[in-house]
Amino acid sequence: MPTLDDLKKKWRDDQGALQAAEAFDAATLNQLIQTRMKKQNNLVFRYFWATFTLHILVYALLSHVLIRYGSDTDILLLSLTGFLVTVPFTAIMLKRYKQMAVTKVTQTRADTIYTYVNEQRSRVAAFYTFKKRYEIVLIPLLSAIGVILVFNLYFPGGVKAFPAGALVTYLLTLLSCFFAIRNENKKYFIRPLQELQAILDDYKS
């Protein structure tokens, strides 16, 4: 029959093993969380680089048109309008993504990682809200500018000579943008936000 000292020793050994297991589980969980977080960050940053590249292309095309055909007042106004409506989106996107890029997890404590994940999710959600609202104006306006420029530069008489063709082109452009943006939002914002929320829920549970 075990003595009282033997029972105490066994209890201490069991407690030590339990604490070690808990510490290991917590460390493993934090590592898994950081891995999942890195995956979501990479996905969101893929959107940033793709969109930033697209904006550079837009600026390059508008600059080319502005330099070559800037003597035409209508072309000049359309090109400048394209710049004015696109630059604010680019600037805010750069600012938001810079905030995300410079924020790092320097500790492995659960509360620190939870705060980091929560802040990153808030940043992504805030930019997604801004993106949806801004694109309601940006996409129709840029599409109209693009169609008018193309017809005025490459079709004799421009939009006035081909109103039906310009309208169909504009509507097709809007439709293609709608489907592209819907897929883009699902891939780069809705799913990452759901995953980030799932990470936060894992911590709470």
**Structure confidence at residue 21 (pLDDT):** 46
- Position 12 in a domain: no
Please say whether the beta carbons of 127 and 96 come within 8 A.
yes
- Position 162 in a domain: yes
- Position 122 in a domain: yes
| Cα 7 to Cα 203: distance, rounded to the nearest angstrom | 35
b/e sequence 121-146, b meaning 16+ C-beta within 10 Å: bebbeebbeebeeebeebbeebbbbb
- Position 72 in a domain: yes
Question: Pick from 190, 199, 201: which is nearest to 34 by CA?
Answer: 199
What's the domain range around 197? Answer: 38-204
| Cα 44 to Cα 48: distance, rounded to the nearest angstrom | 7
Please say whether the beta carbons of 196 and 124 come within 8 A.
yes
Question: Pick from 102, 84, 85, 90: which is nearest to 127 by CA?
Answer: 90
| Cα 56 to Cα 74: distance, rounded to the nearest angstrom | 23
- Position 98 in a domain: yes
- Position 3 in a domain: no
Please say whether the beta carbons of 147 and 173 come within 8 A.
yes
State if pTM tops 0.85. Answer: no
- Position 56 in a domain: yes
- Position 49 in a domain: yes
Mean pLDDT by 10 residues, the chain (205 residues): 51 50 55 73 86 93 91 92 94 87 60 79 91 93 94 90 95 95 93 86 73
Number of domains in the chain: 1
| Cα 2 to Cα 8: distance, rounded to the nearest angstrom | 10
